[in-house]
Every structure is written in structure tokens, then in C-alpha cells.
């Protein structure tokens, strides 16, 4: 069984990379305006659409999908719970609350300043979630993410209150629903920061694995537990802040993708992280393509499709866990 899993683990990143490449090519050539690859060199209009719209949109999808999947994987390891992700730990709602705060108090803030504020709020919200679950004695695998969902609901309620008072309700809803239809050149580049942070997570993957094993285990092998926890949560918060600020929230992506990958490949963070990133990108590409063709020439926001799929998978995971307890 072990040699078979090793073979699958070795092949999985290449298969996922091939899927991302094929889906990216399909994504580039789907849209209201026809783009002929053969005409890119001779037709300035096709070249402009390709370079300023289709290519940036595809890059944005890949970067957002891969970074959020990695963020979810890290959070699950650090919290030692399969159901913890930015969507179920209050991280997304805290980031949106930070965006709302900076929009109300300093509307002229540059994009990087907004990301920084959103990251601080996301990190604070996630840290509060971690602090709460550490104080809970009955740490049921389903009960823990429910705490995060309730906490996220509190953040969302506070945000909705102030958004209503300042006529920013519609803006708040945009942040909470991922959509790539408005992505063009010059409006997605901050996502490269999220991609870079995801790469950084791979460098420190062993630290996060050790921290996920507990304070005593990490200390015994020479890993600074607090530093590893802080670094992992900062990566997750920064990725969430960048994605929410740039394209809006993509719910449950960081939950379902890491679970699928770890079920197939195991829990070694360094080994599964590349496949997780690639599968996250592939899933968002598929959902975006579906959203563009279902009601063509109009679009369904990718956040709606991923959220629908993710909530169904989340429910299936909970029922599967409940049945396992019932049969034990």
C-alpha cells in the first residue's frame, strides 16, 4: 500500500500541472469576443484582448486558487482539524471587515495599504479563533469549525451594520463573492504577492508540519512552536486578504481541496503542498469556465459556483464523519 501511495504522490503534481495547463488554454479562448491564436500576430484587436484581458484573468484565477488552497492546507495542519479553512475560521469575514474599516476611515488608501489593513484584521480574527479552540475542552472535529463559522458570522454582522450605515452594503457583498469578470491588466497584479507567499509556505512546510504535531513535539525537534504558528497564520491571513481585496472571497476552496489531496496522498505537508496548489487552481479554472458558458454571453460569479460545490462537499464530509462515529 505504501509503495502504491508513493507512486501516486510522485505522479500527482505532474497530472495536476497538466490539468491546469489544459484548463488555462481553454479559459483563455472562452469569452464574448473571439480570440484566434493565429491572428494574435496580425490582428491588433485580438492581441489587445489576449494580453489585457484573457491572459491576466487566467493568471488571476491560477494565483487565487492555488494560494487559497495552500492557505487552507496550512490552517488545517496548524489547527489539527480537517474542517478548518479561511471560510470556516472567520478569516475571510475578518478580512472583509478590515477592508470596510479602511474604506470608511481612509477611502483614499492605496491598494497595498488596504491589503495590509485587511491582513491585520484577518490575522487578528484567526488568532482569536485559535485562542478560542485552545480553551475548548470538547474539541470535536465538527464542533471546532462551527466555532469559526459563528465567529465569522459575528464579524459579518458587525460589517453589515457599518456598511448599512455608510451605504456600502453593495460593496461589502462584492468583497464576499469572488468574481473574475472585471479582471484586466493592472487590476490583478497584487495576486502575485499571494502566489509568492504560497511559495514561501513550501519553504517552511516542515516547520508547519512540526507545529501541527503539537507544542511538545515541535519543541523536542528544535522548532519554535510560537514562531511556526505565527508564521503559518500570517501566511493564511495575507493570502486571504490579498484575494478578498483583489477578486473577492472564494468560499470553501481552502476546505475541500486540501481534504481531497490529503485523502489521496497523506499528511506530509511538503509532499502534498504542490499538488494542493495546482488542484486549487484547476478547480477554480473549471468553475470559472462553467460560469462563463452556462448562461453565455453572461457570467455566473465563480464564488457562487465554488461556494455551492464547496458547501455540498462540506456537508458530505460532516455526514461521513457522523456516520463513522455512529458505526464506531
pLDDT (tens digit per residue) in 247-306: 999 988 988 999 889 888 887 888 899 999 999 999 999 999 999 988 888 888 898 999
Q: How many domains does the chain have?
A: 1
Question: What CA–CA distance (Å, rounded) separates 63 from 158?
Answer: 30
Q: Which residues contact 229 (CB under 8 A, 6 or more apart)?
A: 78, 130, 211
Give yes or no for residue 317 having a pLDDT over 50.
Answer: yes
Domain that holds residue 241: 2-327
Q: What is the pLDDT of residue 323?
A: 56
Round to the nearest angstrom and report the end-to-end CA distance of the chain: 24
Q: What is the pLDDT of residue 264?
A: 85
- The conformational region for residue 214 under phi > 0 = left, psi -120 to 50 = alpha, else beta, is left
Distances (CA, A) of 113 to 91, 103, 107, 185, 249: 18, 11, 11, 20, 19
Q: How many CB atoms lie within 10 A of CB 91?
A: 34
Residue 322 — pLDDT band, cuts 50, 70, 90?
low
What kind and span of H or E run contains 243? helix 225-246
Residue 303, SS3 per DSSP: helix
Q: What is the pLDDT of residue 22?
A: 94
Average pLDDT on 54-62 reads: 92
pLDDT tens column, 75-108: 998 888 888 889 888 999 999 999 999 999 998 8
Distances (CA, A) of 327 to 144, 226, 266, 323: 22, 38, 24, 6
Distances (CA, A) of 33 to 45, 55, 197, 287, 297: 10, 14, 34, 20, 10
Q: Which residues contact 226 (CB under 8 A, 6 or more apart)?
A: none
Residue 310, SS3 per DSSP: helix
Average pLDDT on 21-35 reads: 84
Question: What CA–CA distance (Å, rounded) separates 24 from 7?
Answer: 26
CATH number at residue 296: 1.10.3470.10
Backbone φ and ψ for 200, nearest 5 degrees, come out as: -60, -35
* Helices and strands of the chain, counted as H and E runs: 14, 0
Q: Which residues contact 3 (CB under 8 A, 6 or more apart)?
A: none
Give yes or no for residue 137 having a pLDDT over 70.
Answer: no
Task: Classify residue 138 by its DSSP letter.
Answer: -
Give percent of the chain with pLDDT exceeding 70. 91
Q: What is the pLDDT of residue 186?
A: 84
The dihedral formed by the CA atoms of 190, 193, 195 and 196, expressed in degrees to the nearest 10: 160
Question: What CA–CA distance (Å, rounded) separates 253 from 154?
Answer: 21
Q: How many CB atoms lie within 10 A of CB 198?
A: 26
Give yes or no for residue 326 having a pLDDT over 70.
Answer: no
Distances (CA, A) of 90 to 94, 124, 236, 280: 6, 10, 12, 20
Residue 187, SS3 per DSSP: coil
Contact between residue 65 and residue 223 where contact means Cβ atoms under 8 Å apart: no
Q: Which residues contact 289 (CB under 8 A, 6 or more apart)?
A: 23, 26, 27, 30
Please name the residue that has the C-alpha cell 504560497. 198
Amino acid at each position: 500500500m505504501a509503495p502504491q501511495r508513493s507512486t501516486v504522490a510522485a505522479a500527482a503534481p505532474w497530472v495536476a500541472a497538466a490539468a491546469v495547463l489544459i484548463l488555462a488554454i481553454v479559459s483563455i479562448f472562452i469569452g464574448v469576443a473571439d480570440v484566434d491564436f493565429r491572428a494574435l500576430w496580425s490582428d491588433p484587436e485580438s492581441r489587445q484582448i489576449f494580453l489585457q484581458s484573457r491572459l491576466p484573468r487566467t493568471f488571476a484565477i491560477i494565483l487565487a486558487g492555488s494560494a487559497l488552497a495552500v492557505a487552507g492546507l496550512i490552517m488545517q495542519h496548524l489547527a489539527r482539524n480537517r474542517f478548518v479553512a479561511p471560510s470556516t475560521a472567520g478569516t475571510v469575514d475578518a478580512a472583509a471587515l478590515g477592508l470596510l474599516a479602511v474604506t470608511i476611515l481612509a477611502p483614499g488608501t492605496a491598494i497595498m495599504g488596504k491589503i495590509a489593513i485587511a491582513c491585520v484584521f484577518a490575522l487578528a480574527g484567526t488568532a482569536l479563533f485559535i485562542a478560542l479552540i485552545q480553551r475548548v475542552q470538547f474539541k470535536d472535529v465538527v464542533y471546532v469549525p462551527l466555532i469559526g463559522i459563528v465567529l465569522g458570522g459575528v464579524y459579518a454582522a458587525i460589517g453589515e451594520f457599518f456598511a448599512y450605515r455608510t451605504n456600502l452594503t453593495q460593496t461589502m457583498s462584492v468583497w464576499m463573492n469572488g468574481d473574475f469578470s472585471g479582471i484586466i491588466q493592472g487590476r490583478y497584479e497584487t495576486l502575485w504577492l499571494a502566489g509568492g507567499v504560497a511559495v514561501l509556505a513550501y519553504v517552511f512546510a516542515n516547520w508547519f508540519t512540526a507545529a501541527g504535531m503539537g507544542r511538545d513535539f515541535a519543541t523536542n525537534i528544535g522548532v519554535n512552536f510560537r514562531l511556526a504558528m505565527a508564521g503559518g497564520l500570517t501566511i493564511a491571513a495575507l493570502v486571504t486578504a490579498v484575494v478578498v481585496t483583489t477578486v473577492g472571497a472564494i468560499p470553501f476552496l481552502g476546505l475541500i481541496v486540501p481534504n481531497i489531496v490529503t485523502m489521496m496522498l497523506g499528511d506530509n505537508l511538503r509532499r502534498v503542498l504542490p499538488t494542493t496548489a495546482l488542484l486549487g487552481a484547476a478547480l477554480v479554472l473549471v468553475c470559472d469556465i462553467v460560469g462563463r458558458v452556462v448562461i453565455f454571453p453572461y457570467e455566473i460569479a465563480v464564488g457562487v459556483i465554488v461556494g455551492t460545490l464547496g458547501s455540498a462537499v462540506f456537508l458530505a464530509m460532516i455526514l461521513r464523519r457522523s456516520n463513522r462515529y455512529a458505526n464506531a
